Copies of this chain bind each other. A is one copy, B any other.
Amino acid sequence: MRVAAEVFADQGYRSATIRDICRRAGTNVASVNYHFGGKAGLYRAVVQSGGAFTSEMAGRLAASGGAAEDRLRAYVEVFLARVLAEGPCAVHGRIMAREMIEPTEALDQLVDGFIRPEAEMLSLAVGEIVGKDFNREEIRLLCMSVAAQVVFYKHCRPVVERLFPDFRLDSAAVSVLAESIAGFSVAGLRGLRAGRLAAQAAKMKGTSGTATVTRSAERRIAKGRN
């Protein structure tokens, strides 16, 4: 039921009431219990119904082909467009955002079915950009740094709107936003790769390395971490 997806999307599973759903859908309250076995069954059906997104993502990412940086740019673009999409075709993204904050049993299947494959693609691209000198845990953190920038505008939109009332997210703004996120991320990954390479070169030579590396290394040490 489309209206059920809509209501679940912007009210959350707990706050949504089947009476509201049925009133909007023009049907009876008892019908959902008859066809789905209850509110939970309806929700499960809604969650499982949205499955045309991963293929779209995979398609665009596969089409963009070769260069890792282009794949990352495509990832940010597609991911952001889906997450910020308006209208009825965005309910799946909104439900997923809801699930992240108020997890139900549906989150597990959502993670395994949608999020994990995308994380895999992102991880490959990030790994290529930073090079072989980063281990799996480091790459994992960097992937989350990239993905975080996208979901931020989904999860913190109320705060952003209050903080910058003139900040609008029309389709043009989404484009420059995607470019900003992708540019920042690519620059960060490249910079980290360069820094790691320089640090390794310095270690091999036994010298103290370039100015840039020395600064961040000194900072790490002088920090006196507790």
Contact = CB atoms under 8 A, between A and B. Distances in A.
A29 interface: no
Interface string A144-174: 1101110111011011101110010000000
Nearest to A112: B162
A69 B219 CA distance: 10
A108 B161 CA distance: 10
Contact of A226 (B115, B162, B167, B198): B198
Interface in A68-101: 69-70, 73, 97-101
Contact of A222 (B97, B158, B194): B194
Contact of A185 (B99, B102, B177, B188): B188
Task: Tell me what chain A mostly uses at the interface: helix, strand, loop, or mixed.
Answer: helix
A86 B100 CA distance: 19
Nearest to A201: B226
Given A148-B148, A152-B144, A183-B192, A162 B212 contact: no
A77 to B, nearest CB: 9
B119 A163 contact: yes
A142 interface: yes
B107 A162 contact: yes
A51 interface: no
A176 to B, nearest CB: 8
Given A145-B149, A186-B191, A212-B225, 20 more contacts: A14-B15, A70-B219, A97-B101, A100-B155, A100-B159, A101-B155, A116-B163, A144-B149, A145-B180, A145-B181, A148-B152, A148-B156, A183-B192, A184-B188, A184-B192, A187-B190, A187-B195, A187-B218, A190-B222, A191-B222
